[in-house]
Chains A and B, each alone.
Chain A
């Protein structure tokens, strides 16, 4: 085995210093070293997006980043974006609009959608669909995911009051 490397990574605001194999992927660092199992692994070709996290504020597929590449960086995972009682608007949108079924793609989908809204606060349906095409969902047919993101966009732009679910 190659020599281990020391990395300093801030995850969800918490600084960590770890010894890692150079080949260790960021997603495995999060899941196995830090026990943050909300970030999922759904493929091995960087297609599915289940492992999406924010690296220094940008959405990345954490299966395409080595942990050593994240040295000195700040990572936000699904566990850090919001929690019950103070959900991120995208999390809230997924709950209100039934944007998930089995839940496996959901953390990555939420992180990708949050990033999409950071870049485009008022996306059209087409822009949402295009923006999320790097994240696979096998359960929902994306119908309610689109509605969840629209809900979050409305909420973040102040068009929607707290807890008011849109009609179908």
Chain B
């Protein structure tokens, strides 16, 4: 029996190209006749465009065109649609190039196409735009105040939508009769995703066949094709091929259909030349979708047994200037529905108001709604535990949903599939040495040193499904996934997946599973993704869906191959199909191992069809469209240990330990890597990252000098382990791991910092916990540490 590859830490097959500099990212591509685009972007957050004078730009040698919003409107190019609707949602148009007014710094007002990138950028600087600056608003709550500047005429009062979930009256009643309540005002800081590869797009148009090709930095090329073809350019989908080649990280920011993609396609048709645009990082900061940005009042109630009875949340979720593809889903179904967390809360009510502002659009960023929910819930739990005089983890234990209660119906719509929260927590406590840490903390406090232990338990919902449910909630998309397994005459296999890898290692992990299913050498399996011209329709990768949904589709398609192979083998071996067993890489007659056919022999015969069942189609390939029965619910316990220097306010991460449960793991190397990276990004939010707008809507943190992402010396080696609780409803029991680290670590690190600051009487501070902020808080503290002990 060949060694099972599921669970094996195989080195990645995609790495040779990346470690030798031979990857193929969009900006690496050169095609004959290619010209370049540069964007003219608004320096104002809110300004009327009175006129555009492009004469000087057009006069520059090498400039081919200056394209305006009006020109594209006149040519019939439509606005960019959003992919998630709520009742009463306001949908003002979002044109690739704004024809009338700029609504955020970075909004495109014209595009220049020239022979070289340098010329295009020189010419963009020569385009004279006569702006009439308008008052702007950048903070969500201010946008909802009467008399606030109006971002869109179509959305009076700037309210894009209002959404709520849960039992308001029931929740209020539980608060009325609570034993104790706590309340926090929280700001979930706005983040800028900053995948290391800046966005880029290259469009080509073939006049003879009227066909477009778009190479672009996308997590989901089919969504791009659908939106661009059917909604924006009004061309048949079969005339547009979208290819996402090697993509250098996404984290949500490459889900959306962006304006520049429309512009290069339009320009390529207009000029009959391939057109490329690549973002400079400073453009990324003002055009890539941002994440988070909530202002929240969060409350929790408990009864006399210290059981959580109710959670009440009111949030203002800043949408930015326009709605991008999935923006309305993030602060609603991916947020309010997660507020039960791992706890048996009786009633929950969550209300969200989502305003437009003069800022970059906000959409999903790694975790997307779930980190925001986890952060507020785990902050509340910590504060409540302290109020009750309980150890924060023991308070959590008291409130866990128990293993025998699954499937578990929460008060906020979701039905959890499986879980065992206490086992993961116990393991984490043991591995980190929790009691000893608490003892050390006490000791060190006496010496004027402030250790903080932030322990959280979390749960996430990933692999949104099933499609009919998601549709009923407002999605304008399905959430199934496709797989095509194609066996060649020699028995080698290509697997086409609708999932997309932009760092997640699908080419390795998915091939491992196919090799197991088909019992063939893994080197005979090639995974293909990211090209609408090569694979069936697919919905792409986000929301940790690739393994639970995309890989499930591959497993189902592989099993169809095995079934058909058995029928072919039965014919060749003159046996009944039900007597054929698939073992040791062979198809053999049960109990007669010498009567066997190899996969190669079957594949060859499937293609020759010379000696073949009359009632069977020739060929050996299978497609499966897999629509899951439910979300999957990974969970875990993460513990951060920090030390705060009271003289400087500097927070130093000392240890980080995670115990995650994502069900069975395909490749531990890859799964652990997802945890490491996720933890780093969540820690970035807690300690470093903050998109700061001034009142005029200028982004003050618009490059890496001002916006700090974690560096190597901000992190430590992460200690990690797993528990395994399979999902009951997909073929491998897989749960997904892409976002868990981020969802957990922001809250864990935040709780750790505030745990360290407890002796100063500081109950809450908003992130990020920069040295300056912490130092100021300590200086302003009402309590001296001595008094705390």
Q: Which residues of A contact B677 (CB under 8 A)?
A: 101, 138-141
Q: Would you call A45 and B704 a contact (CB within 8 A)?
A: yes
Q: Would you call B715 and A143 a contact (CB within 8 A)?
A: yes
Q: Which residues of B contact A103 (CB under 8 A)?
A: 14-15, 17-19, 23, 246, 248, 503
Q: Which residues of B contact A128 (CB under 8 A)?
A: 712
A3 within 8 A of B: no
Q: Would you call A87 and B19 a contact (CB within 8 A)?
A: yes
A66 within 8 A of B: no
Interface stretch among A67-75, A129-137, A154-162? A129-137
Query: Interface residue count for A (Cβ, 8 Å)?
Result: 59
Q: Would you call B281 and A45 a contact (CB within 8 A)?
A: yes
A58 within 8 A of B: no
Max chain A C-beta neighbours (<10 A), residue from B12, B23, B709, B718: B23
**Complex CA–CA separation, A94 to B673 (angstroms):** 13
Q: Which residues of B contact A47 (CB under 8 A)?
A: 703-705
Q: Would you call B11 and A137 a contact (CB within 8 A)?
A: no
> With A44-B280, A79-B21 known to touch, is A136 a contact of B711 (CB < 8 Å)?
yes
Q: Would you call B12 and A138 a contact (CB within 8 A)?
A: no
Q: Would you call A141 and B704 a contact (CB within 8 A)?
A: no
Q: Would you call B717 and A41 a contact (CB within 8 A)?
A: no
**Complex CA–CA separation, A31 to B26 (angstroms):** 13
Binary A-proximity of B270-288 (CB < 8 A = 1, otherwise 0): 0000000010111000000
A37 to B: closest C-beta gap in Å: 4
A89 to B: closest C-beta gap in Å: 11
A58 to B: closest C-beta gap in Å: 19
A5 within 8 A of B: no
Q: Would you call B196 and A98 a contact (CB within 8 A)?
A: no
Interface of B is mostly: loop
B30 within 8 A of A: yes
> With A94-B19, A141-B710 known to touch, is A102 a contact of B249 (CB < 8 Å)?
yes
Q: Which residues of B contact A153 (CB under 8 A)?
A: none
Q: Which residues of B contact A21 (CB under 8 A)?
A: 118
B134 within 8 A of A: no
A29 within 8 A of B: no
Cβ-Cβ contact count across A and B, 8 Å cutoff: 181
Max chain B C-beta neighbours (<10 A), residue from A98, A100, A106, A126: A98
Q: Which residues of B contact A38 (CB under 8 A)?
A: 20-23
> With A96-B11, A102-B503, A143-B718 known to touch, is A129 a contact of B20 (CB < 8 Å)?
no
B659 to A: closest C-beta gap in Å: 15
**Complex CA–CA separation, A103 to B23 (angstroms):** 8
> With A42-B196, A45-B281, A103-B23 known to touch, is A129 a contact of B676 (CB < 8 Å)?
no
Contact residue among A37, A96, A126 (Cβ-Cβ distance under 8 Å from B21):
A37
**Complex CA–CA separation, A139 to B195 (angstroms):** 8
Q: Which residues of B contact A82 (CB under 8 A)?
A: 20
B746 to A: closest C-beta gap in Å: 14
Q: Which residues of B contact A168 (CB under 8 A)?
A: 672
Query: Interface residue count for B (Cβ, 8 Å)?
Result: 57
B669 within 8 A of A: yes
A59 within 8 A of B: no
Contact residue among A45, A50, A100, A125 (Cβ-Cβ distance under 8 Å from B717):
A125
A62 within 8 A of B: no
**Complex CA–CA separation, A129 to B680 (angstroms):** 14
> With A100-B15, A141-B718, A168-B672 known to touch, is A105 a contact of B196 (CB < 8 Å)?
yes
B25 to A: closest C-beta gap in Å: 7
Which A residue sits closest to B283, measured CB to CB? A44
A146 within 8 A of B: yes
Binary A-proximity of B1-41 (CB < 8 A = 1, otherwise 0): 00000000001101111111111010110100000000000
Q: Would you call B249 and A107 a contact (CB within 8 A)?
A: no
Interface set, chain B 243-280, CB cutoff 8 A to A: 246-249, 251, 278, 280
Q: Which residues of A contact B28 (CB under 8 A)?
A: 31, 37
A65 to B: closest C-beta gap in Å: 17
**Complex CA–CA separation, A107 to B20 (angstroms):** 7
Residues of B within 8 A of A (CB): 11-12, 14-23, 25, 27-28, 30, 118, 194-198, 246-249, 251, 278, 280-282, 502-505, 669-670, 672-673, 676-681, 703-705, 709-713, 715, 717-718, 741
What are some 26 contacts across the A-B interface (CB < 8 A)?
Answer: A31-B28, A35-B30, A37-B21, A37-B28, A38-B20, A38-B22, A47-B704, A94-B15, A96-B11, A100-B18, A101-B673, A102-B195, A103-B14, A103-B18, A103-B19, A103-B248, A104-B196, A128-B712, A129-B712, A133-B711, A138-B680, A140-B677, A142-B680, A142-B711, A145-B712, A146-B717
- 11 new A-B pairs (CB below 8 Å) besides A125-B717, A130-B713, A132-B712? A50-B196, A78-B21, A100-B18, A104-B196, A104-B197, A133-B712, A136-B711, A138-B249, A138-B681, A143-B715, A145-B712
